[in-house]
Every structure is written in structure tokens, then in C-alpha cells.
Structure 1
Amino acid sequence: MRLVFAGTPDAAVPSLRALAQSDHEVAAVVTRRDAPLGRRRVLTPSPVALAAEALGIPTIKTDRLDAAATEQITALEPELGVIVAYGGLVREPLLSAPVLGWINLHFSLLPRWRGAAPVQRALIAGDEVTGAAVFQLVPALDAGDVFAQRPHAVPAGATAGSVLDALAGEGADLLTEVVDAIASGTAESRPQTGEPTFAPKLGDDDGRIRWDESRDAILARIRGVTPEPGAHTTIEGTRVKILAAGPGAQDAPPLSPGEPALHERRVLVGTATDPVVLDRVQPAGRSAMAATDWWRGRRDAGTARFGS
């Protein structure tokens, strides 16, 4: 088939590469415009744009699938549109422009976690299993009939970044299988069943640690917002990023929420239940470091408290 592929971040690159290596023709790639990155705000192509260039595939760069983008895509006469984390909505008339419409690779087991941040929300909620789904794109958010799903057990201690990396590879295989089935006329889709849950995009406040929550809820939040938007807290009014943390030992002393202590060369912080161990942190204006080194260098280590 003749395809148009829409995607932007690293998570979409394995799918693009898999389709480019398949028997199908990727006529063009649609991705968001170059964005300013780093302290110098250098305009940088998206990961998908870079992959498309390496593959020799023409690219349409647009932040909105507006009338101009619709005209460009329609002129290519695609049979099927494929979208993976593009970062924008496909509306009519573009939704019906390809003969077979659009399919979407989504990183959850639908209808759970419809929306922009399914992996992050799944980990924050403490889900032990997530997955990938390929479904028919419809006007309603992530509500179309599902062609195939593949579950993925969440490893202990996994972050949203590591789970998304795994799902990006597994999802690329699943997506290619569905595209092959659509091309051969053997694809079957089924309506989603069950009560939907939603996964809106994360903001900075989603990474704020609330020490009056349970240890497990705090650790789940840290894993769910790592690497983006990142977990953070304050100590005596100064912001600190939490890059890695884990459960305290069974013999850890009881601590009130936000109360720190150095126990067996490890920095503990109290929660509503058991303490959390801080492994790596990044104080404001400084580089990442071991939490123990940071704590030992504080003059107020005996009196400071973490805020929520």
C-alpha cells in the first residue's frame, strides 16, 4: 500500500523504520516543525524528521494538520494514513482523505488511558500491565475500533521512559502486522469494551512530590514522570529534582511526612507510610549527584525538611 506516516518523538521512530523496511511505500512523513532545544534554543528537527531524512522520505513539517497540510497529504493519494504520537489531531476532511482512513498506534491497552500520556499515567496509577494498541482513528479521542493489542508487564522499578522505549519497539512490530493485514484484506477490528480512563498531558505540577502520600504512591509518581516532566520537591524553599528513588530498608526509622534522615549512608524521607530512599538528585543550579553526597554537604542537614 501507499502510506503517509505522521509522528514526531523518538517513540515513533521504530514504527517509521519498520514501515520503511516493509513491502509498503511510505510516500511522505508528516511531523512537527523544528523546535528550539537546549540553553541556546537551537532549532532542531524532530526525531522522526531526522529518521525520515536518513531514509530518504519526503517530509511535511507542520504543527497543525490544517487546510494546507490536508492539501499536501491528499495530493499524495495515500491508501492509508498511519499515526504514532504526532502531537496533533486529525480532523475531517483529512481523516477521510486516505482511501482506508487512518490507523493509530497507541501505547496503552484501550480503552484504558486514552490521551496524550498513557504510559506516564499508567505508571503513576501503579498499573502492573500496560501495552500497545492499533486502532482505527475516529473523531472521538482514541475511541476507534481496535485491530490488535499487545500487553506488556511493567518491570519493577521501571520508569515511563524505559517502558515507552520497550513499547515503541513492540508497537512497531504490532503496527506492521496490522498494516500487512489491512493490505491483504484479512484485518479485523473490534469495538473497545470497558470503561475508558483518560491520560491528559502531564504538567510540571504532576511531578511535584506530596510527602503526605504513601511510599508506594510517591515512588509510582517518580517513575511515571521520569524523564519528563521530572519529579521534584523543595527543601527549605529550594527546588530539588529527584532523579531516582526507591523503598527504604525494613529497619528504617519511622519518619513523619517530609522528615529527612541519614540512615546507613542513605538519605531517607518520611511519607504517610514507610520512608523513601533518595538515590540521585539535582539541586537547583547544580549537576546531578548522589543524594548522600548532596545531603552530607548541607549545613542544615540536621534541621531541614522537605515540603510538599
Structure 2
Amino acid sequence: MTAFTPGRLDRSSPFYVAGHGGLVGSALWRKLTAEGFTKMVGRTSKELDLRNRAAVFAFFERERPRYVALAAAKVGGILANKTYPVDFLSDNVQIQVNVMDAAHRYGVERLLFLGSSCIYPKLAPQPLKEEYLLTGPLEETNEAYAIAKISGIMQVQAVRQQYGLPWISAMPTNLYGPGDNFSAQGSHVLPALIRRFDEARIREEASVTNWGTGAPRREFLHVDDLADACLHLLENYDGPEHVNVGVGEDLTIKELAGLVAATVGYKGAIEWDATKPDGTPRKLMDVRKLESLGWTARISLKEGIESTYAWFEDNRNGVRD
């Protein structure tokens, strides 16, 4: 591999954010714009279907980005993953392969691939270290999505090995923030709780029933912190191993529900349906590698939930159903 030293990215070079309209992509777009990048490149899924290989190659040939953040993905919660495993596997693999192959063909210097903490085995030791990848069976409820993301990590490593390009991967923990998916069927746990408790407050419902026991522990990272970490990694890290991005602290889903209910102003009873799946018992990231590179999260969970709920209230009529 050709020697490469990470450093400040050229703010005047074209930077393509794949998935710039999504939760992660929009946060990256905000961060990069605020940092002075002047040639931002983005396309909606209607403008460019990243599953269409010919269209992706034509786009890269035309735009010639120097940097790429691959944040485009088909994502969803436990129900969506269990119901549509083919979509989560096929769509995500196609997106990743097409973008990375085109990025190599047209000379992308730095590419950051974004995955998910679900890449780790269901019963891996806690906290989750980068080295635990591929050491045990995955969580069944999102196995297809996890396999797709693992293939993305492998492709980045293969590009580094075969072509010597300084591409990297980052694996964020559970994310939330403005622009999240608040749909009843496709959202992750935190936005789902915000919407559920908000609707229960408006309807003055006596109780709210959530899936599972509430016992699993989860870690949550505000998407603006993730965006900050992504730029930090692009300018400070080069290596084949993916890097965990998280806060290094977790709480139970039951505790999270209480925090969301208090933020929303719901005062009814909170109940649990233990017949529904809990998912992985615990997913806490070991973030010592990222901390050794000089980065730590700054937005507290309480502050983040409050700002996310404020965004939800301002955009209530425009969120996804």
C-alpha cells in the first residue's frame, strides 16, 4: 500500500454524501457545510437509484468526487427487518458494491463507509470491541442487514489490500436526531417511543404498551455527534479495521421509555408486552479506539432527546407514516 498520512481535507474539493437526505447523510451535509466544504454533491434516491449500477457509474464519471461518505442504506427497526430480509440484504449490498466500485473506477481518494453496531454477534462480550466481528452468530431479527454491512466492511478492506486506497469504515451505535424516521412500522426504538408517547399524550390515553420486556440495554448517539466523528476520522485515521462510534454508556429500554415520556409530557402508565421480541440483550460499544484518536461525544442523551422532540413537533405533519 502506498504510504498515506491523514490530514485536513481540501474544503474546495468535490465531496459526495451518498444518502444525503437521510438521518445520517443530512447530518453529514450540515457538518461539512458548516466546516467550509464548498463543492458538496448529493442526489436523492429519485434522482439517482444507487441500486442501478450503470446510473451510479455515469454519475461518478460526471461528478468526479474526491471524497465520499457512504451513508446511503435501507434501514428499519426489528419489525421491518423481520418482515423484509431480502430487501435489507439485496438493496444494501447493491448500493455498497455499486458506489465503491464506481468510486474506485473514478479515482475517489478518501471514502468512509458507515455501518452499524448490529454487525457484532448477538452474545458478544460487552462492551463491543472492534475485534469481536465475525466471532459468533448474529442477532436473528436483523441478520440480513448485518450481513450486508459486514460485506461493506470487507469490501473496504479488500480495496485497501488490492488497490492501496486509504478508505475506512465506521460503525456507529444506535442513532437518533432531527430527520429521523418516526413511522409506526419502520422506525427504530427511540423515534418510535417519541411518536408513541406524543400520540398517547394528545389522545390522553391511560397507558402505553411497548414491545418486549424493557430489559435490554442500548446506547444512543446523536447523529450530529456522529457527523462530527466522521469528519474527525477522515482527517485523523487510516487503517483497515473499522472504528466504533458511540458514547460508551447505555441504559435499559425501560429507562429510555421513562426519559422519553417525561420529555414528551406523557403522564400515563407504561406497560410492556413480553410476548414481543427484545432483540439483542445488550449492545454497548467499546469506543476506546476512537477516544485514542482524540474524539468523544458531546451531546447528552437528555439534551439530544429534547432537541429531537422539538424537531418532531416542528415537523409533525411532514414525518414519515
Classify the TM-score, shorter chain. Answer: 0.3 to 0.5
Structure that is richer in strand per residue: 1
Q: Scaled by the length of structure 2, what TM-score is found?
A: 0.35
Mark the structure with the bigger radius of gyration.
Answer: 1
Structure that is richer in helix per residue: 2
Q: Scaled by the length of structure 1, what TM-score is found?
A: 0.36
